[in-house]
Amino acid sequence: MKVNKIILRNIRNYVNLSLDFTQGINIFIGQNAQGKTNILESIYYGAMGRSHRTNVDGELIRWQQEDGSITILFSRMNIENSLIMKLSNNQKKEIISNHYAIKSRELIGLLNVVLFSPEDLMLIKGMPAMRRRFLDVEISQANPSYYQQLLKYNRIVSQRNNLLKKIRENKDKPDMLDAWDEQMAIAASKIVMKRQEAVKKLAMLANLMHRKITASKENLTLVYHKHEIIETGIENLIKEYKAKFLQHRQNDIWRGSTSIGPHKDDLILTVNGINLRTFGSQGQQRTGVLSLKLAELEFIKSETGEYPILLLDDVMSELDATRREHLLVFIKDRVQTIITATEEKYFPDWEFGKYFHVENGTIVE
């Protein structure tokens, strides 16, 4: 998979930008707030239908402009594709894929990317929600049907929570939860089964990466942790979830929210048997994150048949020389990569990609 060109109109600090990419390494050098990350953000937006920097689409539109657009020309399995995202302060965004209008939920899986930003260094020591999102984004790109199932599950959770609040306020009866619990148990079990399958594959890949980076001194283990659930297999999971929903019903009514389900699960990482989040050093945690990101690339390739596009947003300064070298050696001649950095010193002296210099929204090769 390759991005060939992006065209930005009134996006962040770009009035009109047309930019061609090489199929290898593309490096954008410049100081902060000059427009480097806007390039990555636009590609990420085309892949995920949202920015990694804000939840408000309107913030991507250039200051004091009413609308803007992102056009991405890319190849998938050597077939040329186009994506156009039209953003407006007054209207709902419009997405056009190969000249046909599509909905946001149909976007996932068309253009696959892996983003590695400084915030991802919190992936291991951060909250469980970060690790769940990591899994969900990864699986959704490799398997768009999972994304549809995830949307369905989240809708059920939201509707069940609304009903819990009504019951708490004596506006509905507790037995109304029975039908929702049935639906939710089925949806939850499907999500868990797919996550467990993905983690099993990801764990093998991540450990291979981790052993290379640590010269075989450390083994990285990934385990999917189900919150208060011990069963395996779809039928057993459905039964246990239904029993747990009933067991926690009164507490859920009092709280007005659902306390059991995949939205409470976590991904546990250990190095040589030691919990990485709790007892790992900062260096071990960063190596763990790097191993996860490199494994994510291999996972998506194994599921889709080709590598996704790698977006590295100002992480070179956050990694030490050894980790930078492992990362750069891995991506060279393997994955189309778009990198932002403040200085060229983070890159090797040998011929390495295509350099762009960015200053105040102007890009010079």
The answer to whether 361 touches 34, Cβ cutoff 8 Å, is: yes
The answer to whether 339 touches 312, Cβ cutoff 8 Å, is: yes
Q: How far is CA 265 from CA 94, 196, 259, 279, 285, in A?
A: 34, 11, 11, 20, 20
Instruction: For residue 34, say whether it is annotated as part of any ligand binding site.
Output: yes
Please identify which residue in the block is written with the tokens 């709280």.
255
68: left (phi over 0), alpha (psi -120 to 50) or beta: beta
Instruction: For residue 35, say whether it is annotated as part of any ligand binding site.
Output: yes
DSSP string, 204-215: HHHHHHHHHHTT
Is residue 133 helix, strand or coil?
Answer: helix
| Number of other CB atoms surrounding residue 268 within 10 Å | 16
Helix axis angle, 177-213 relative to 282-304, nearest 10°? 110
Instruction: For residue 293, say whether it is annotated as part of any ligand binding site.
Output: no
The pairing of beta strand 354-359 with beta strand 362-364:
antiparallel
Alpha carbons 136 and 144: distance in angstroms, whole number: 10
DSSP string, 287-348: HHHHHHHHHHHHHHHHHHSS--EEEEES-GGGS-HHHHHHHHHHHTTTS-EEEEES-GGGS-
**φ/ψ (deg, to 5) at 257:** -155, 160
358 bridge partner residues: 363
106: left (phi over 0), alpha (psi -120 to 50) or beta: alpha
The answer to whether 324 touches 346, Cβ cutoff 8 Å, is: yes
Please identify which residue in the block is written with the tokens 């990482």.
269
The residues near 9 (Cβ < 8 Å, ≥ 6 apart) are 15, 16, 17, 68, 69
Instruction: For residue 65, say whether it is annotated as part of any ligand binding site.
Output: no
Instruction: For residue 31, say whether it is annotated as part of any ligand binding site.
Output: yes
Known binding residues for ATP: 30-37
Binding residues, as ranges, are: 30-37
